[in-house]
A and B are shown apart, each in its own frame.
Chain A
């Protein structure tokens, strides 16, 4: 039962353009959403997050949008840079109980930014 899904395995964009990575979830108990970036042979690194009480969070070139009614979030990177080429994981967490600290990850989207 995959509760967090990233339906695009890969995305290719031109340097300077916008990259949009999408993520869908099914568990309505999720109340916090995060994006992680991963380079080969390294661990995931935190990029940006959003609480379920917000619909947008921005940090420099990165913006995350949350549509709770659609159970959908997206990560926008503007402008895209070649150094952004990596695997991007969407993750979700729920407060409390047996979910303590647990992140549920999507399967990742490989972003390639061409110079």
Chain B
């Protein structure tokens, strides 16, 4: 069983559309994250949630809205998609947010905005 799973893996959509990426973890972790890997390959945190509560919002445009219905799920909804949103989005989880806890990543969702 995949520990952190996210869908879809590949998504091609037009500018202006709204799309969602779903994420689920079966590790029993309290903390979940969204990371973005841009065209320059930098991996940067977007959000972190602990037990359904937002902890970190790393100056992400409010077109991006994470939703955590329970601590095993953290979905990412993106409104009014722009060309610059094309990137790989990684969901991740850890036992909690303390430094030293291993963060486990999903396989990534490749978003292409045309």
Residues on A close to B: CB < 8 A?
31-32, 34, 36, 41-46, 49, 51, 87, 89, 93-96, 98-105, 107-108
Residues on B close to A: CB < 8 A?
4, 31, 33, 35, 40-45, 48, 50, 55-56, 58, 90, 92, 94, 96-108
Cross-interface CB contact of A43 among B98, B100, B101, B106, cutoff 8 Å? B106
Q: Which residues of A contact B42 (CB under 8 A)?
A: 105, 107
Q: Which residues of B contact A49 (CB under 8 A)?
A: 100, 102
Q: Which residues of B contact A108 (CB under 8 A)?
A: 41, 43
Are B40 and A107 within 8 A (Cβ)?
A: yes
Cross-interface CB contact of A98 among B41, B56, B105, cutoff 8 Å? B56
Closest to B104 in A: A46
Cross-interface CB contact of A44 among B43, B50, B100, cutoff 8 Å? B43
Bound complex: CA of A89 vs CA of B94, how far in Å?
18
Q: A43-B4, A49-B102, A94-B99 are in contact. Are A101 and B107 (CB under 8 A)?
A: no
Bound complex: CA of A97 vs CA of B47, how far in Å?
14
- Kindly list the 7 A-B residue pairs having the minimum CB-CB distance in the complex, ordered from nearest: A101-B97, A43-B105, A100-B97, A32-B99, A105-B43, A93-B99, A95-B99
A2 to chain B, nearest CB (A): 8
Closest to B96 in A: A101
Q: Which residues of B contact A96 (CB under 8 A)?
A: 98-99
Are A100 and B100 within 8 A (Cβ)?
A: no
Bound complex: CA of A51 vs CA of B106, how far in Å?
24
